[in-house]
Structure 1
């Protein structure tokens, strides 16, 4: 007998018997008391143990075919299945415990792009008569076995399931209302769990009360969705699902789990919250009329301030104690922090981007601790105290997603109330809109906090093995730091898109920053763009990290949403070209590299540290890359290079990649500092010679800001950049507590020299850091901080005041931006860029000429002049209230066209 269910009649009989068994099991599930099913502290019950473990070295291409690298061509291949029993397949022995098997035959088939990581692999197909059975068999245990003719096991493996589920349940992508939907006449629950044997929903009156009911859900074989409608409007109540599902290496497991589509939760995400997000009880007064400020007409108009909710107010004594570190701190309009944001808005800042505000897994929402360390400037005592409490403290950046669609509870004044965090987050958005700032959100769909059967795993406990990206052995890839998600799979891609739509609609989010966006498929990001635009009724701006690395690098699995692959999409990516040229080095620098790898603004060649480059060619190359950033990193922009050649930016080398990669200016995000790595002030402590005064360190900070502000594309700044923010040299402050992440809106202290940063990421460099932290000469004065703050705002005013700094298209940049002082005879520490405003809407001037002198001494260059042109200092810099009085010392000699620029100064002239 080739396989167990050969005749159609027998297969139908088995199917009918199985349906009856499912119905009986469902009835048994319903008969189980709600207390037994839904209550208690347990999150999991093993119903049928199976501790046998196998790699998953094969993968389904679709419902019918699978690929198995290394399968023996001379063996017979069978897919063994069992609903509840433990399946064993000892090498050299016989398969045991199976209910039966399906035979597979070798078949010619091309490997799909998403499975190329498996390499060349034989493909096997189910027989026609068996294809109809495979859906139900996925709700049990499956094991692929290669056998000798006598049934001896030669090899055995599990099969990666995503390809089959995506094919079998493609219709699920169109299901519009996964999650809990309360209505007046009943609340509907829908959960996509196609491999589950049974699902019930447990409902609760409160976040900690006993269950009120356990209701079995019905399975839809077309979509794989389980659903039920429970009588009455349950808006404001709570729920969890009891999901009976086969788990590799564990058996049949009953997981008591929250909803992947939860819109809110109770304390520590123990239970999902049922909410009608359109209910008046969850809306602040005026919410339906809330709208973003009309500051951004095109993506290059964006100037962004990246801000952590807790950082913003936790140290602000002008905020009520109950609101510090909370969403509600933004409602206190008289606080120092809100005064700071309003001043930035009035200067021209358009967006505040919040570090993740969705539910995260690392912060105890009740009873978290806050440390106030003490110690010398170079002591390791502070970081020891922070490290000892890091799992219990109140701080994390939030790159540990737990529930993507629900607000984080630790920022709420009452995390136990699922409605409170919804209301308060909306109040925060309204407050920022009222301050003239659009609201962006950092989102991290590339990984989850945990996976598998961990209590804080959600996706993997609902559909084991589906939502995460697997390697060739079936282990979860972790190139992002944590358990990588697989948005190339239909339902993970849908979750990302649906989640972004929810934040757009329900919270009026105006833009998104995608963490490690290069790990997402371009096609899914483009779908997301269309969906959020439709939801908002306007264009929602998308930017992200387009880094090309890990298991998806160079298009190994799909066309990525990466720097080199997104051109033409309109989606922006962060540019490391200008960043590294300006500040020096790279993101992973350590040891002496942090000192010797100087950048354009902090001494490269013209003010070298010991061991740093003195090669003039290095400075000239850096100047070219800075100009490339000023030109928007555009592929086709023709740049006169230091060699005298004119080369398109895509023909200039940047570490083996093209310096120019964007198709339009809106596709590049210019920055020199964000939450990752050391702040620029800290890098400059390392890279500027120790003799550099703090006043000059402040000027270097402003020069970096000027390059960013004058660059075509999106301008992006880390909160505190404008007040010389330091993290005491910490290169990775994601769980360094409030101590190393503080902001001082009184402008008295930048918190440099507040102890050695946490040892885990910095300990190897303690010998380098200690003398720097102990040296009081590196500590800026309040006057230095005030100068940087005010000069930064002047730069925002200059950028906001003319569309010439925010050109709309590549054609505009190529036509209107021209660089002077180029070629081999240039003054390499001076950059001169002229922007032609003739006939350009919003230009404000006939022309603009910006000059940046990064040198320690004044420099002069000649700019060829056209007859009749007259240059004057930009009105912002010429104003008596201008912060940088040195800019007024710049000189222009009309007869010769000679401009003299003071040391370490950015100057703008206009016509």
Structure 2
């Protein structure tokens, strides 16, 4: 190690950065009295060297070690007061993961001495423990900075042409028969030709990856023989999760992740990361000491103002990151910029984003976090999606985020489920959600793509289970079926779970097609959950966060029903991307535009007359139609040219009986074509319907018609 020399080094950038000759180490701690850097042998057990960081600049402790290079394993020990009642939890017996580590190697053994206090002591977390934890702690890894991106360029798909596919890196390919066994469940497997071919043929424009930041399994799961599958338990905000790497964990995961991004970009597919900055895996005051808690607890976490021994918990996990604190906010912002600039990702979906925007206690549109994101020149180039709620007071904030954000629209999800389930009085809200949720987003000056529409997500029933189960069935989670939401708005169509009844199966298939078709003709940005296009089931489990097995993994062995659904989904995505009226960037006005004879949006009763305000509350409002006037669409495309698309007419029939619709009386010089019928009557052929015609919509079905625009 170059004579084990130590140079002063630099306070920036934070983390371990190799420059070709040595490595600069820099770590923040305002309240520590001393920081030691520990270097480990390749076995990750033997501590080779301990270096006291004597240089300190602006609360950053730093040193440069010549000869220390990529693959080196390291960690920190922080000296200072152990005073939980004052918010200080320093304990140099506990090895700490570098918050800025670019890679992490090894698992966390939560059965080891990873707590800063003596477990079982009467004083609880006040009882100091001096047992060394190094053997139970994963090690940070020095990573080289060279990677050949081969001219990689982001696809930059416009929001209005985006179709998002929410997917788990591991679960996507674990059962894929055409992916080589040694690649399944990995970044490399995700980048393999069979996996990418599925995405391209499906037609999606972006993958939204469930968390890929390094995370750890919870102790209670380890005790049950289960694992955290989803990954919402972050340990390292810069490090790609090592369990998705085929080539080891000594930094190889960084290159393999980059290779996946590069391959997806070549296929024209964007990469959006589901990121968890609202909390960490260190839990509450009784949780383990793994990183931030031992480095500078008061700077990184939101502590109770009444007693800083305890944590403010807006996330349901025991702690909340304090983005009102400059070092914590800097950690988040540095991480986001790193993933854009160094890992080439195209956007982020922020888990429990309301927690990040609490300033200090309640959501604030001008919070320090939201302002920091707004002014950042790197982040203004990427897609930003908020999960606009958390579990704290006044935590449901759909529609409240600033103009540069899109949001998961939970109101869209709920009303689409209720409408097709057959609940009463859903039509009025359904009308708002189908047309971009102007009531939520337009008053604040936001665009139509502020709404990310979805019917299912990783958290909850799959689409197939949504029409197959009235109740959740989470027994495999070993929590006595207490976990997971009961507010599913699901309907089993006449039998709970699997059945051989052909009538029930036909109805379930139609309901699945109804919700997929609804999603893909709605204004806003559609998000499909991986597997829904192929009829994926989790056996009624609506909280499969700990099921790293066949319950969660995609099943690629398709029978005729599932193969037909895949074909239908592909056709619906193609329809969406071929029709300009389904890709609006501005909200509807409900009036004639330009010299067109059509309104941009009009709603009709089954008898063909335009709906009035009082009609939305009538019983027939389960069966309505809306017209999107292609001739009236005059907004320019991204090249400045006038868009002139087909006019679409969508007939919705959520009633239990068939309904005959009279086509609305607009210009009749051209015939209507049936593009899709979820009842199956026109799945392939394109029927022509002449002027003043009628169309029969079967019970619980959608019929989509088009009429060519005047060119």
Alignment match of 1:709 (pick from 520, 539, 558): 520
1:715-794 matched pairs, under 5 angstroms: 715-747=526-558, 782-794=559-571
Deviation at 1:392, TM superposition (A): 4.5
Change (3 A) 1:582 1:237: same
Contact 2:53 2:63 in 1 (8 A): yes
- Label 1:431 to 1:812 Cα distance change in 2 as closer, same or farther (>3 A): farther
Q: Secondary structure at the match of 2:259?
A: helix
Match of 1:459 in 2: 292
Is 1:270 matched with 2:132? no
- The partner residue of 2:270 within 427, 438, 441 is 438
**Per-residue deviation, 1:390:** 6.9
Contact 1:803 1:841 in 2 (8 A): no
Q: Secondary structure at the match of 1:828?
A: helix
Structure 1 residue 546 displacement after superposition: 0.3
Q: Distance in 1 between matches of 2:105 and 2:455?
A: 39
In 2 relative to 1, CA 493–455 (structure 1 residues): closer, same or farther, beyond 3 Å?
A: same
Pick the aligned partner of 2:206 from 340, 347, 351.
351
Task: Output the CA distance in 1 between the equivalents of 2:521 and 2:673.
Answer: 16
Q: 1:123-162 counterparts in 2 under 5 A?
A: none
Asked if residue 830 in structure 1 is aligned to residue 623 in structure 2, the reply is yes
Matched, 1:216 2:216: no
1:731, 1:398 → 2: CA distance?
Answer: 16
Alpha-carbon distance between aligned partners in 1 of 2:624 and 2:154, rounded to the nearest angstrom: 36
Shift of 1:811: 6.0
Cα drift, residue 856 of structure 1:
4.2
Q: CA deviation at 1:313?
A: 1.4
1:817 matched to 2:650? The reply is: no
1:470 equivalent in alignment to 2:303: yes
- Report the TM-score when normalising by structure 2: 0.78
Report the equivalent of 1:683. Answer: 466
Q: CA deviation at 1:413?
A: 1.7
Work out the CA distance in 1 between the residues paired with 2:168 and 2:225.
19
Q: Structure 1 stretches of 5 or more lacking a match?
A: 1-33, 35-173, 365-386, 555-561, 584-598, 605-617, 638-648, 651-660, 748-781
Deviation at 1:810, TM superposition (A): 2.9
Q: Provide the secondary structure at the position in 2 that maps to 1:550.
A: coil
Q: 1:441 aligns to what SS in structure 2?
A: strand
**Secondary structure at 1:624's aligned position in 2?**
helix
8 A Cα contact 2:432 2:438, kept in partner: yes
Shift in Å, 1:496: 1.3
Which SS does the other structure have where 2:439 is aligned? coil
2:229 counterpart of 1:361: no
- Measured in 1, the distance between the counterparts of 2:302 and 2:560 equals 51
Residue 325 in 1 paired to residue 158 in 2? Answer: no
Deviation at 1:437, TM superposition (A): 1.5
Q: Which has the higher helix share?
A: 1
Report the CA distance shift for 1:852/1:887 in structure 2 as closer, same or farther (over 3 A): farther
Aligned positions, number: 602
Deviation per residue, 1:664-687 (Å, 9 max, x gap): 212111111001122232221221
CA apart distance, 1:730: 0.6
1:420 equivalent in alignment to 2:248? no
Query: Aligned partners of 1:302 and 1:309: how far apart in 2?
Result: 20
The verdict on how the C-alpha distance between 1:338 and 1:626 changes in structure 2, with shifts beyond 3 A counting, is same
Among 449, 466, 484, the residue aligned to 1:666: 449
- Secondary structure of 2:334's partner? helix
Map of 1:910 onto structure 2: 707
Determine the C-alpha separation between the residues in 1 that align with 2:173 and 2:289. 28
Q: Which residue of 2 aligns with 1:135?
A: none
Q: What is the rounded CA distance, in whole Å, between the counterparts of 2:185 and 2:72 in structure 1? A: 27
Aligned partners of 2:269, 2:508: CA distance in 1, in Å? 29
SS at match of 1:493: helix
Q: Hey, what's the Cα distance between the residues in 2 that align with 1:520 and 1:178?
A: 22
1:635 has 2:439 as partner: yes
Asked if 1 retains the 8 angstrom alpha-carbon contact of 2:216 and 2:228, the reply is: no
CA spacing shift, 1:840–1:551, aligned 2, 3 Å:
closer
In structure 2, the CA distance between the partners of 1:871 and 1:488, relative to structure 1 (3 Å rule), is farther
Summarize the Cα distance change of 1:175–1:669 in structure 2 as closer, same or farther, 3 Å threshold: farther
Q: What is aligned with 1:253?
A: 91
The reply to whether residue 516 of structure 1 matches residue 352 of structure 2 is yes
Task: Say which SS state the counterpart of residue 259 (structure 1) adopts.
Answer: coil
Contact 2:448 2:585 in 1 (8 A): yes
CA distance in 1, matches of 2:630, 2:61: 60
* RMSD over equivalenced CA pairs, Å: 3.1
Pairing 1:449-598 to 2, within 5 Å after superposition: 449-451=281-283, 455=288, 457-471=290-304, 472-474=306-308, 475-482=310-317, 483-521=319-357, 522=365, 523-527=367-371, 529-530=373-374, 534-535=377-378, 539-547=381-389, 549-551=391-393, 553=395, 562-566=397-401, 568-583=402-417
**1:454 & 1:226 partners in 2: Cα distance?**
26
- Please state whether the residue corresponding to 1:712 is helix, strand or coil: coil
* TM-score relative to the length of structure 1: 0.61
Are 1:635 and 1:663, in contact at CA under 8 Å, matched by a contact in 2? Answer: no
Q: Is the 8 A contact 1:184 1:233 kept in 2?
A: no
Task: Give how far 1:737 is off.
Answer: 2.9
Do structure 1's residue 306 and structure 2's residue 166 form an aligned pair?
yes
The reply on whether 1:292 has 2:154 as its aligned counterpart is: yes
Kindly indicate whether the alpha-carbon contact (under 8 Å) linking 1:582 and 1:704 is maintained by their aligned counterparts in 2. yes
Task: State the Cα distance separating 1:884 from its structure 2 match.
Answer: 6.5
CA distance in 2, matches of 1:342, 1:527: 36
Residue pairs, 1:222-233, within 5 angstroms: 223-232=58-67
Secondary structure of the residue aligned to 1:502 is helix
1:506 Cα offset (Å) = 1.7
| In 2: Cα distance, 1:575 partner to 1:905 partner | 22
User: CA deviation digits over 1:802-831, x for unaligned, max 9?
Assistant: 232121123678872332223426732333
Deviations 1:309-355 (A, max 9, x none): 1111112232222222111212431x3x443222113xxx1111110
Q: Deviations over 1:365-394 (max 9, x none)?
A: xxxxxxxxxxxxxxxxxxxxxx99775456
Aligned twin of 1:623:
427
Matches within 5 A, 1:27-66: none
